[in-house]
Amino acid sequence: MNISVVIPVYNEEESLPLLYERLHAVLSSLKKEYEIIFVDDGSTDKSWEVLCRLKEKDDHIKLIRFTRNFGQTAAMAAGFAEAEGEIVFAMDADLQNDPTDIPRFLEKIEEGYDLVSGWRKHRQDAALKRKLPSRIANWLIGRITGVKIHDYGCSLKAYRKWVIKNLRLYGEMHRFIPALAALLGARITEIPVRHHPRQFGQTKYGLSRTFKVILDLITVKFLLSYSTKPLHFFGLPGLLSSFIGFCICLYLSFLKLFYHIQLSQRPLLLLGILLIFIGVQFISLGLIAELIIRAYHETQEKPIYLIREKR
């Protein structure tokens, strides 16, 4: 199998026939073995019936149906697990991604890249509700993760097989896949892609996801920088807190010993003791996290490295 295309579907019954026609035309012209994996993420319309009809007339199609709506990350993870192609694409089912961009992704992959991300340079969405929050989020993600691409939110991406088979996706981490792939050592680039206005249905995203992105970003930063050394993450604030608390207590002890100042009514004493205890707790938490990380890697025999190839 040369190419797999993974498409999460949630209430897209009107878009699916058109998407299939465009996708089939492009993939057939490539003269490569391919498969199209549709993952029905608990649709409540007739999306599953439409997919079944498409499957009846094309053996290249594979179908996965969830028992309920688990979210786009879960749908992509299920599709990636099923994919057999050496190059795996992911895209949306709402017709805003254009299948005619697929050959350009393949050209970039052949240049030696492991992940090619789409950049909706001329995005056809509402400026205030979608484009502005997206630009802020992309800038913030790039600064914090160090993986600076223009459009983390574009679903149209191409991956080498080894990348997606070593990704572990949870929560709503699909938008951070380039940063997670960088953790594996993948070579990443991006190309501008076409982006069309939504023809059918309504978008599943709004401003509310901004807060979720911030919380997920904290998780990604921790995974990128401290997943194998959590004590470095917890230890620094622990040492800082303990040091400040110790200095406060030392200062108050000096006042007590040499100036005989009563300390029982001074809130500063309580603050110093509290900071020392907080510091000890942070360091203890880091040590516990170190034990958990080691148990995780050793019980699953999961290495702390990933070999790209052997010759």
Whether residue 191 sits in one domain with residue 70: yes
Q: What pLDDT, on a 0 to 100 scale, did the predictor assign at position 196?
A: 84
Query: Is 59 a member of any domain?
Result: yes
Whether residue 220 sits in one domain with residue 113: yes
Whether residue 203 sits in one domain with residue 155: yes
Instruction: Identify which of 273, 265, 281, 266 has the alpha carbon closest to the alpha carbon of residue 247.
Output: 273
Number of domains in the chain: 2
Q: Which amino acid is at 270?
A: L
Whether residue 99 sits in one domain with residue 75: yes
Whether residue 249 sits in one domain with residue 162: no
Given 226, 246, 262, the domain boundary residue is 226
Whether residue 158 sits in one domain with residue 25: yes
Given 193, 226, 259, the domain boundary residue is 226
Whether residue 167 sits in one domain with residue 149: yes
**H-type helices in the chain, by residue range?**
16-29, 47-57, 72-82, 102-110, 132-145, 161-165, 177-184, 209-226, 230-259, 267-299
What CATH number corresponds to the domain at position 135? Answer: 3.90.550.10
Whether residue 272 sits in one domain with residue 187: no
Query: Is 88 a member of any domain?
Result: yes
For every residue of 37-98, DSSP letters joined together read EEEE-S-SSSHHHHHHHHHHH-TTEEEEE-SS---HHHHHHHHHHH---SEEEE--SSS-B-
Instruction: Identify which of 121, 124, 151, 123 has the alpha carbon closest to the alpha carbon of residue 136.
Output: 151
Whether residue 41 sits in one domain with residue 135: yes
Distance CA 271, CA 283 (A): 18
Whether residue 174 sits in one domain with residue 116: yes
Query: Is 308 a member of any domain?
Result: no
Whether residue 44 sits in one domain with residue 181: yes
Q: What pLDDT, on a 0 to 100 scale, did the predictor assign at position 34?
A: 96
Given 162, 192, 226, the domain boundary residue is 226
User: Going residue by residue through the chain (311 aa), what tens digit of pLDDT does each one get?
Assistant: 799 999 999 999 999 999 999 999 999 999 899 999 999 999 999 999 999 999 999 999 999 999 988 888 889 999 999 999 999 999 999 999 999 999 999 999 999 999 999 998 877 766 566 677 778 888 888 888 888 888 888 889 999 999 999 988 877 788 889 988 998 899 999 999 998 887 776 665 555 566 777 778 888 888 788 877 888 889 999 999 999 999 999 999 998 888 888 877 788 989 999 999 999 999 999 999 888 887 876 676 666 555 555 45
Q: Are 2 and 86 contacting, i.e. CB atoms less than 8 angstroms apart? A: yes
Q: What pLDDT, on a 0 to 100 scale, did the predictor assign at position 306?
A: 54
Angle in degrees, 0-180, between the axes of helices 209-226 and 132-145, rounded to the nearest 10: 10
Whether residue 221 sits in one domain with residue 252: no
Residue 202 belongs to domain spanning:
3-226
65: region left, alpha or beta (phi > 0 left; psi from -120 to 50 alpha): beta
Work out the end-to-end distance of the chain between its first and last CA atoms, rounded to an integer number of angstroms: 23
